Amino acid sequence: MATTEEVKKLAALARIKIGEAELEKFTSEFDAILAYVGQLEKLELPKSGDEKPVLRNVMREDGGPHAGGTLTQKLVEQFPQREGDALSVKQIISHD
């Protein structure tokens, strides 16, 4: 069972704000969803160990770089705030 405190904490971890009214709704919906996916607990799975993994790593050599600066304008145009070609953000460490 999810509590409103838990949902609040998850929201903080996920960098999302949830208002008090919405919190109740989210918590009760959470309970219904978790009760449903909770059926997995009853699922008996065979002991694994000798199974070959299905996934494999795919590596490639570094290479084929594009010329420097060719994408810069396209990317900086998306910045919410900029100074020249630099992304402008809030000061994180304050001096006072």
Partner 1 sequence: MTKLANEMTIAEAARTLRARELTVRELWDACAEAAEARNSDLNAFLEIFDADDATIAAAQERIDANDSSLLCGIPLAIKDNILIEGKIASAASKMLENYRATYDATVIKKLKEAGALFFGRTNMDEFAMGSSTEHSAFGPTKNPHDTARVPGGSSGGSATAVAAHMAIAALGSDTGGSIRQPAAFTGLVGLKPTYGAVSRSGLIPLGSSLDQIGPVAKTVEDARILYDAIRGEDALDSTTIPDGLYSTNPPTGGSTHLRVGVPRHLLREGVEADVLTAFDATLESLVQAGHTLVDVELPTSSHALAAYYVVMPAEVSTNLARLDGMRYGFAKRGETLLDDYLLSRTEGFGEETRRRILLGTFVLSSGYIDAYYRKADAARMVLRREFEKAFEACDVIASPTTPSPAFTFGEKSNPLAMYLEDIFTVTANLTGMPAISVPMGTVEREGPSTSFDSAQDKSLGIKKQLPVGIHFTAPHQEEDALFTIGRSVEDSR
- How near is the Cβ of 95 to partner 1 at its closest, in Å? 15
- Which residues contact residue 31 at a Cβ distance below 8 angstroms, ignoring those fewer than 6 apart? 1, 2
- How near is the Cβ of 65 to partner 1 at its closest, in Å? 13
Residues that bind partner 1 (CB under 8 A): 2, 6-7, 10-11, 13-18, 26, 29-30, 32-34, 36-41, 43, 45-46, 48, 51, 54, 58, 60, 71, 74-75, 77-81, 87, 89-90, 92
